[in-house]
Amino acid sequence: MQNDVVYLDHAATTPLDERVLEAMLPHLGGAPDGRPRGNPSSLHSAGAAAREAVEEARASVARLVGANEPGEILFTAGGTESDNLAVLGLAASDPSRKHVVISAVEHPAVREAAGHLEATGYEVTRIGVDAGGLVSPARFAGTLRPDTALAAVMWANNEVGTVQPIEEIAELCREAGVPLHVDAVQAAGRLPIDVSRVPVSTLALSAHKLHGPQGVGALYVRGGVELEPVLFGGGQERGLRSGTENVAGIVGLGAASRLAFEELEERTRHEEALREALISGATGLPGVRLNGHREKRLSNNIHVSVEGVEAESLVLFLDALGYAVGSGSACASRGTPAGHKASPVLLAMGRTQEEAISSVRITVGKDTTRAGIDGFLEAFAAAVSQLRELSPLYTS
Amino acid sequence: MVYKPQVMEHLVRPRNVGELDAPGGVGESGDAACGDVARFTVGIEANRLEEVRYKVYGCAACIAAGSALSELVRDTHLLEAARVSKADLENSLGGPLPEGKEHALTLVLDALHKALEDHWNRQAGEMLVEGYDGGPDGGTNGRMKSVVVATSGGVDSAVTALLLKEAGYDAACVTFRLHDGERGSRSCCSPDTVLFARDTAHRMGLPHFTLDLKDLFDRRVMKDFVGSYAAGRTPNPCVSCNAHVKFHAASFLADRLGFDHVATGHYARVVEEPGGVTMARPTDAAKDQTYVLWPVPKELLSRTIFPLGEYRKEEVRRIAEEKGLAVAYTPESQDICFIPDGNYRGFVRKKIAAEPGEIIDTGGRTLGRHAGVVDFTVGQRRGIGVSAPTPLYVTEVRPAQKQVVVGRREDLEVSEVRVGDLNWFLDYGEADSVQVRYNSPSVTCEVEDSGGGEVRARLAEPVVGVAPGQSAVFYKGDRVVGGGVVRRDG
């Protein structure tokens, strides 16, 4: 039964690419020459081989984001760690600055890290977004101050897929002398990211959103940007991320980055065609409304509010029919015993509480087929109709 | 979070979905902004739940719980349907729901119970608004040792239900919605006394019903409370409730269910006397509630059981603890139930405009001004706002003249009390003492009929602070002979 599932939740995680797995296996004990696993810090040949593999991966990630030097890439345990290291590390690098700017639609990894700074005495400005989820560069510029330690605006939103005007925002930060952190976890591999053109200070990405393994990520840190570590130990990763490297994971991230770089255009074109079919099919049903920006959105994301239907029941109903999609409030609903906590992203975009808890996210991937989308749209219509028949709030 | 297969089965193939065209009751619980709404419609014939339909907007757990509940209660007797507990529902869904999803059980049960509540309301029509004294199918019809217990979510009424159940009674609990001041009664996400009382009944394995008596309570208790202050009397809302609301409503439900008895958690006893059934003081003198129970009509008293009359409060708490009832730890309720902050004057002031007037002494001399007679009751010493060498007491309130009369303590002494609005269990001539205040001893007296539906009680010794509007309750030893309302002198 699991084989029949059409997976449409690529924003949550992506299937591991077989080519990535191939690349990783030698580092999981499957080396064809029987060579022992090495620690990149060791002097012997096994250590050197591991070191070499890590450096090759670093070069691939550097190429994906357009970094000048592979040394600008740090490996971490994932997007959340990269975001935390950037936000906390940039803030700590100049203790005289006590102001932080973030957008109102940041991923919890940035939002909560900024909230932590707030609890320790920082002032945090949260810039609102318009109905499409966009940050206005003009409003953003107005929030930057001489004592602003850092700003953080994501490249593309993980829930509604809105792509921010990050070039303009980065330029404003450069002019104001404020370091900018960009969460590119959803954007990497979908949008042409080029830090040689866009003056960000730090940029986070994660392997498992790129058909790589879970539990590994990277942080781009522009040469010359000062960053304080948050982990202390053996001084790996230029002292900014101590701890023995997750070699197999890093190799997986490297392979995934190389493939994403090479196949970026092809993947995007494929995903966009499916996205358009999904948007017209889903919003063709009465009372189904697209959330996020119509044009400035990720190639693989559709996010809709379905009037009269609660998200979790729709997601599980679709699951029972063989389609895996994301709940608009998947993270938010965890651990809230009484009632739902609506997504702060949707509320920031001016959606009502009801719309927020009635929303689902459908995200395609490079291997999603047109037949899968057609089947999904049929199942979606059936699920929505049956749940609305059940709903005391919906009258057609 | 992983749901059991039973939950998924109910989600994909929900039973009894929809709404009845001509329902006998409709109930809704939840709130769209909270993310969950459940609605039940029921069709009831001869106390059987013939038809049940439900709708749910909410998570998979809510949809599945609604579906499972509709199956459990469909085509059952109301008493069985009203007994279905959260645990029963959870079992029918294959076991505990994932953490954070337990509220689904509460939500759908509440919607069903509100539909049953609506059914009783439709049955009651004007009966419960005007006051119920035995309806067309009133009286008992054969269920021996059966009792409707009025439960409030507190320890006394819960133990009452438990004791009766253990004594072999067929017991059903009922909780009354009396006003909107109850905890959480307007919000779906906060504790609610009705939910708590229901849960307590279900944990004892007893059916639970809810009756909406807000209109009746407003007419017979709250308006009287406010009106009494305006008229310069000192009201006792518990007395009004016992006179018109609580016992009548419990009897109404008992009659609909074909049950013999009604019971409450009051501390009092019902005893058979040669002259008929009467009330008697309880074992626990400190908890004696006979002073507020005098207006219960005799025909209702004759079917009433007060099990706690034989117990002391400490024993009641111990029983609750031993049986693991959560109510064992609920605080003692002291204040008037619809004024939880205890600020009676503030409450009354919101309902009626105060008119300023004069404060005079017993000789008629003006001593000062007041902002409104509603701020004063006979016997009051604090907050009069006039200084004097000896303490001043309010001795009389004259709303028509907007006057408040103050005097010395001795001026409050009376040796004779006029009492009207009488309710007798025994012949008035049997009375040997009268109690004129809550928690104060009764005073030896002689009672004589003064005509016009009033009696005059001559007190063996003068008492202080007898305010018009208060109850005067007559006793013969520990027997309650009857009671009434103190009239204004002259």
Q: Assess whether B170 and B317 both reside in one domain.
A: yes
Assess A353–B contact: CB distance below 8 Å, yes or no.
yes
Could you tell me which residue, A354 or A307, shows the higher pLDDT?
A: A307
CA dihedral B9, B13, B14, B15 (to 10 degrees): -110
Q: Of A353, A281, A276, give the one whose Cα is nearest residue A311.
A: A353
- B69, part of any domain: yes
Assess A393–B contact: CB distance below 8 Å, yes or no.
yes
Question: pLDDT digits over B179-216, tens only?
Answer: 876 554 444 444 578 888 999 999 999 999 999 988 88
Asked if B17's CB is within 8 angstroms of A389's CB, the reply is yes
pLDDT for residue A332 is more than 90 = no
Residue with the two structure tokens 């019809």: B141
Q: B215: domain CATH number?
A: 3.40.50.620
Question: pLDDT digits over A202-216, tens only?
Answer: 999 999 999 999 999
Assess A390–B contact: CB distance below 8 Å, yes or no.
yes
Task: Tell me the residues of chain B between 187 and 246 that have a Cβ less than 8 Å away from chain A.
Answer: 188-189
Q: Assess whether B247 and B164 both reside in one domain.
A: yes
pLDDT for residue A335 is more than 50 = no
Assess B406–A contact: CB distance below 8 Å, yes or no.
no
- B59, part of any domain: yes
pLDDT at B341: 73
Q: Which residue of B has its CA nearest to A306?
A: B57
Q: Assess whether B203 and B311 both reside in one domain.
A: yes
Contacts 24+ apart (CB under 8 A), A381-388: A381/A285, A382/A321, A383/A314, A383/A317, A383/A318, A383/A321, A384/A285, A384/A288, A384/A306, A384/A309, A384/A314, A386/A317, A387/A308, A387/A309, A387/A310, A387/A313, A387/A314, A387/A317, A387/B63, A388/A308, A388/A309
Residue among B33, B57, B189 whose CB faces A338 most closely: B189
Q: Give chain A positions within 8 Å (CB) of B111.
A: none
Assess A338–B contact: CB distance below 8 Å, yes or no.
yes
Q: Which of A92, A331, A381, A387 is catalytic?
A: A331
Q: Are A308 and A285 in contact (CB under 8 A)?
A: no
Q: Give chain B positions within 8 Å (CB) of A335.
A: 99-100
Q: Assess whether B270 and B371 both reside in one domain.
A: no
Asked if B57's CB is within 8 angstroms of A391's CB, the reply is yes
* ipTM for the complex shown: 0.84
Give the C-alpha separation, B52 to B61, whole Å.
Answer: 19
Average pLDDT over residues B259-278: 91
B337 is an active site residue: yes
pLDDT at A154: 98
pLDDT for residue B139 is more than 50 = no
pLDDT for residue B33 is more than 80 = no
pLDDT at B180: 78
pLDDT for residue B130 is more than 70 = no
**CA B424 to the chain's CA centroid:** 22
Strand pairing category for B304-305 and B276-280: unpaired
Asked if A393's CB is within 8 angstroms of B37's CB, the reply is yes
Q: Assess whether B430 and B322 both reside in one domain.
A: no
Please report which residue ranges of B46-96 form alpha helices under DSSP H: 60-73, 78-81, 86-92
Assess A367–B contact: CB distance below 8 Å, yes or no.
no
Residues of chain B above pLDDT 90, percent: 53
Give the C-alpha separation, A335 to A268, whole Å.
Answer: 35
| Range of weakest confidence among A107-111, A158-162, A313-317, B98-102 | B98-102
| Mean pLDDT score of chain A | 94
pLDDT for residue B332 is more than 80 = no
Domain interval for residue B421: 412-486
pLDDT for residue B427 is more than 70 = yes
Q: Are A170 and A136 in contact (CB under 8 A)?
A: no
Length of chain A equals 396
Distances (CA, A) of B177 to A17, A110, B181: 62, 48, 10
- B430, part of any domain: yes
Assess B2–A contact: CB distance below 8 Å, yes or no.
no
Residue with the two structure tokens 């004294």: B133
Query: Does residue B454 sit in helix, strand or coil?
Result: strand
Q: Give chain B positions within 8 Å (CB) of A308.
A: 57
Q: Assess whether B370 and B448 both reside in one domain.
A: no
pLDDT for residue B354 is more than 70 = yes
Indicate the pLDDT class of residue A2, thresholds 50, 70 and 90.
very low
Asked if A308's CB is within 8 angstroms of B57's CB, the reply is yes
Q: How many domains does chain B have?
A: 4
Q: B37: domain CATH number?
A: 3.90.1010.10
Among the candidates B72, B107, B124, a domain finishes at B124
pLDDT at A29: 82
Q: Assess whether B429 and B392 both reside in one domain.
A: no
Q: Of B295, B307, B207, give the one whose Cα is nearest residue B243.
A: B295
Q: Assess whether B160 and B285 both reside in one domain.
A: yes
Q: Give chain B positions within 8 Å (CB) of A334.
A: 1, 100
Which helix (H) or strand (E) segment holds residue B358: the answer is strand B357-361
Residue among A357, A390, A393 whose CB faces B63 most closely: A390
For residue B49 the two structure tokens come to: 């739940």
Q: What angle do CA A254, A262, A67 make, to 5 degrees?
A: 60
Q: Which of B59, B173, B238, B241 is catalytic?
A: B241
Assess A11–B contact: CB distance below 8 Å, yes or no.
no
Q: Assess whether B158 and B296 both reside in one domain.
A: yes
Q: Are B478 and B290 in contact (CB under 8 A)?
A: no
Q: Which residue of B has its CA nearest to A341?
A: B34
Q: Assess whether B446 and B361 both reside in one domain.
A: no
- B345, part of any domain: no
Q: Are A301 and A363 in contact (CB under 8 A)?
A: yes
Q: Which of A305, A307, A312 to mutate to test the interface with B (most CBs of B within 10 A)?
A: A312
pLDDT at B333: 64
Indicate the pLDDT class of residue B352, thresholds 50, 70 and 90.
confident
For residue B81 the two structure tokens come to: 């349907």
Q: Which residue of A has its CA nearest to B5?
A: A320
User: How many CB atoms sit inside 10 A of residue B314's CB?
Assistant: 9
Give the C-alpha separation, B165 to B176, whole Å.
Answer: 20
Give the C-alpha separation, A283 to A304, whole Å.
Answer: 8
pLDDT at B134: 54
Q: Give chain B positions within 8 Å (CB) of A339.
A: 31, 34-36, 103, 188-189
- B446, part of any domain: yes
Asked if B3's CB is within 8 angstroms of A393's CB, the reply is no
pLDDT at B437: 84
Asked if B8's CB is within 8 angstroms of A320's CB, the reply is yes
Length of chain B equals 490
pLDDT for residue A313 is more than 70 = yes
Indicate the pLDDT class of residue B361, thresholds 50, 70 and 90.
confident
Q: Are A312 and A333 in contact (CB under 8 A)?
A: yes
Indicate the pLDDT class of residue B330, thresholds 50, 70 and 90.
low
For residue A23 the two structure tokens come to: 């690349």
Q: Which residue of A has its CA nearest to B30?
A: A339
For residue B73 the two structure tokens come to: 């209660």
Average pLDDT over residues A333-337: 41
Contacts 24+ apart (CB under 8 A), B323-326: B323/B162, B323/B204, B325/B155, B325/B158, B325/B159, B325/B162, B325/B200, B325/B203, B325/B204, B326/B196, B326/B199, B326/B200, B326/B203
Q: Which residue of A has its CA nearest to B189?
A: A338
Asked if A316's CB is within 8 angstroms of B189's CB, the reply is no
In the beta sheet, which residues pair with residue B449?
A: B455
Asked if B189's CB is within 8 angstroms of A339's CB, the reply is yes
Average pLDDT over residues B73-86: 95
- B279, part of any domain: yes
Return the DSSP state at A27.
G
Q: Which are the contacts of A284, defined by CB distance < 8 A and separation ≥ 6?
A: none
pLDDT at A391: 93
Assess A94–B contact: CB distance below 8 Å, yes or no.
no
Strand pairing category for B276-280 and B479-486: antiparallel
Q: Give chain A positions within 8 Å (CB) of B11.
A: 313, 316-317, 320
Q: What CATH number should be reported for the domain whose range is A2-12+264-384?
A: 3.90.1150.10
For residue A63 the two structure tokens come to: 């190429």
Q: Give chain B positions within 8 Å (CB) of A316.
A: 3, 8, 11, 60
Among the candidates B88, B106, B124, a domain finishes at B124
Assess B38–A contact: CB distance below 8 Å, yes or no.
yes
pLDDT at B2: 85
Question: pLDDT digits over A370-379, tens only?
Answer: 999 999 999 9
Indicate the pLDDT class of residue B132, thresholds 50, 70 and 90.
low
Indicate the pLDDT class of residue B387, thresholds 50, 70 and 90.
confident
Q: How many angstroms separate the CA of residue A341 from the nearest CA in chain B?
A: 8
- B442, part of any domain: yes
Give the C-alpha separation, A154 to A50, whole Å.
Answer: 33
Residue with the two structure tokens 């007797």: B77
Residues of chain B above pLDDT 70, percent: 91
pLDDT at B203: 93
Assess A382–B contact: CB distance below 8 Å, yes or no.
no
Residue among B11, B28, B188 whose CB faces A313 most closely: B11
Q: Assess whether B82 and B140 both reside in one domain.
A: no
Q: How many angstroms separate the CA of residue B248 from the nearest CA in chain A?
A: 35
Q: Which residue of A has its CA nearest to B13?
A: A386
pLDDT at B127: 64
Assess B340–A contact: CB distance below 8 Å, yes or no.
no
Compute chain B's Rg from CA coordinates.
25
Q: Which residue of A has its CA nearest to B11?
A: A317
In the beta sheet, which residues pair with residue B432?
A: none
Assess B37–A contact: CB distance below 8 Å, yes or no.
yes
- B96, part of any domain: yes
Q: Which residue of A has its CA nearest to B19?
A: A392
Question: pLDDT digits over A268-307, tens only?
Answer: 999 999 999 999 999 999 999 999 999 999 999 999 999 9
Average pLDDT over residues B53-59: 94
Assess B63–A contact: CB distance below 8 Å, yes or no.
yes
Indicate the pLDDT class of residue A4, thresholds 50, 70 and 90.
confident
Q: Assess whether B115 and B136 both reside in one domain.
A: no
Specify the CATH architecture of the domain A18-260.
Answer: 3-Layer(aba) Sandwich (3.40)
Q: Of A367, A303, A345, give the one whose Cα is nearest residue A110.
A: A345
All structural domains of chain A with their residue ranges = 2-12+264-384, 18-260
For residue B418 the two structure tokens come to: 């006029």
Q: Give chain B positions within 8 Å (CB) of A310.
A: 35-36, 57-59, 62
Helices (H) and strands (E) in chain A, counts: 11, 13
